[in-house]
Amino acid sequence: MAAAVAIAASAFDRPGRVFLTREYPSASVTAPPIHLDFDSSPSHHLAAFTGSDEKELSVRFPLTISGIATGTAIHAEAVRVAITAPNGLHWSSSWQGAGQYFLPNDVFSTINVNVNRAFLAKAKDLPVQVRITWALSRLRAGVTRQAINGEEEFALPDGGICSQQGDDYTSSFACRFPMRQPRLANFTAMWSHQRCSQGQSQDATLVPASGWVGSLGDAPADFGITPVWTSSLYFPGQGFTIPSLSERTYLCPGTPINFTEYTLVDRFQLDFSFPAMQLPHQPTNSFLNFNQD
């Protein structure tokens, strides 16, 4: 996942600046359809991690989310950051890939931004001002259709075929689609804390989980060299991604998976500033204590 983030970030260098300026106008919305702010609760703290570039540190900012209307979603395509210290020290990034989705029921999230290590070392004892600019897309929910997870392969509503890889605690399903990428959709399913081989009792604890697949492209087909597009259904935070065996979840055959298609409403930029803070200048030893309950 870290490699994917790094690759996405590298795609928004000089050509990306031109694209984002044109496709995401900075003054296109008078009332932003989402409110993002810094989450200052003690359990959702700043953290830093080593990235693919030794000259940078990936700083994770905790966020609060509100204001998303029912029947819509927000796609964060890219971000850039400007950091200013009270002594005039300043650093700003180029556009970096984000690839995050926000839904009306989301309350907390995070955003990772690659920051120059040399700058962080100089500003480590200073209360800096952080300003983040987002390139966002507003999406509208459409029809919801259903697929049923099968023992082996199972069909998706748009003609794709998926199969479960490995055991029933996998968090990802390999899929293939004829002629084109699937249209953008949010998929949801209920995961169980009971192994599928043991059968599911009436009092089994079920956990809702969701992910995103596809793109906003509207091309009917691609008759190129490869007639089959491959993708995956990935459920973050489920299956083998849960380290504790007692808490591990399973998606059993016969479980419905709901797919809601989304279409583009508009694109825009959104700026907001965090309160003055001291940024981490060394990698954090442990992961964030990030409880979304």
Q: From CA 225, how far away is CA 139, in angstroms rounded?
A: 31
Q: Is residue 279 part of a domain?
A: no
Please indicate, yes or no, whether residues 126 and 162 belong to a single structural domain of this protein. Answer: no
Q: Is residue 281 part of a domain?
A: no
Q: Are strands 228-234 and 256-273 parallel, antiparallel or unpaired?
A: unpaired
Q: Are 231 and 182 in contact (CB under 8 A)?
A: yes
Please indicate, yes or no, whether residues 169 and 198 belong to a single structural domain of this protein. Answer: yes
Q: Residue 172's domain spans which residues?
A: 150-254
Measuring CA to CA, how many Å separate 248 from each of 3, 109, 174, 198, 199?
25, 22, 20, 14, 16
For residue 217, give the 3-state DSSP assignment: coil
Please indicate, yes or no, whether residues 23 and 111 belong to a single structural domain of this protein. Answer: yes
Number of domains into which the chain is organized: 2
Please indicate, yes or no, whether residues 84 and 46 belong to a single structural domain of this protein. Answer: yes
Return per-residue pLDDT of the chain as tens, 293 residues.
444 444 344 444 434 555 676 788 775 567 889 999 999 887 788 888 887 888 999 999 999 999 999 999 999 999 999 999 998 999 999 999 998 999 999 999 999 999 999 999 999 889 999 999 999 999 999 999 999 998 788 999 888 899 876 666 678 888 988 877 788 999 999 998 888 877 777 777 789 999 999 988 665 555 555 677 788 888 988 877 787 877 888 888 899 999 999 999 999 999 989 889 999 888 875 444 333 33
**Given its phi and psi angles, is residue 67 left (phi above 0), alpha (psi -120 to 50 degrees) or beta?**
left
Please indicate, yes or no, whether residues 35 and 113 belong to a single structural domain of this protein. Answer: yes
Q: Is residue 278 part of a domain?
A: no
Please indicate, yes or no, whether residues 11 and 124 belong to a single structural domain of this protein. Answer: yes
DSSP string, 221-237: ---SS-SEEEEEEE-TT
| CATH code of 134's domain | 2.60.40.10
pTM, whole model, 2 decimals?
A: 0.82
Tokens of 187: 């998929």
Please indicate, yes or no, whether residues 169 and 119 belong to a single structural domain of this protein. Answer: no
Instruction: Give me the residue label for tokens 């973050």.
Output: 236
Instruction: Give me the residue label for tokens 């031109």.
Output: 18
Please indicate, yes or no, whether residues 80 and 52 belong to a single structural domain of this protein. Answer: yes
Q: Is residue 286 part of a domain?
A: no
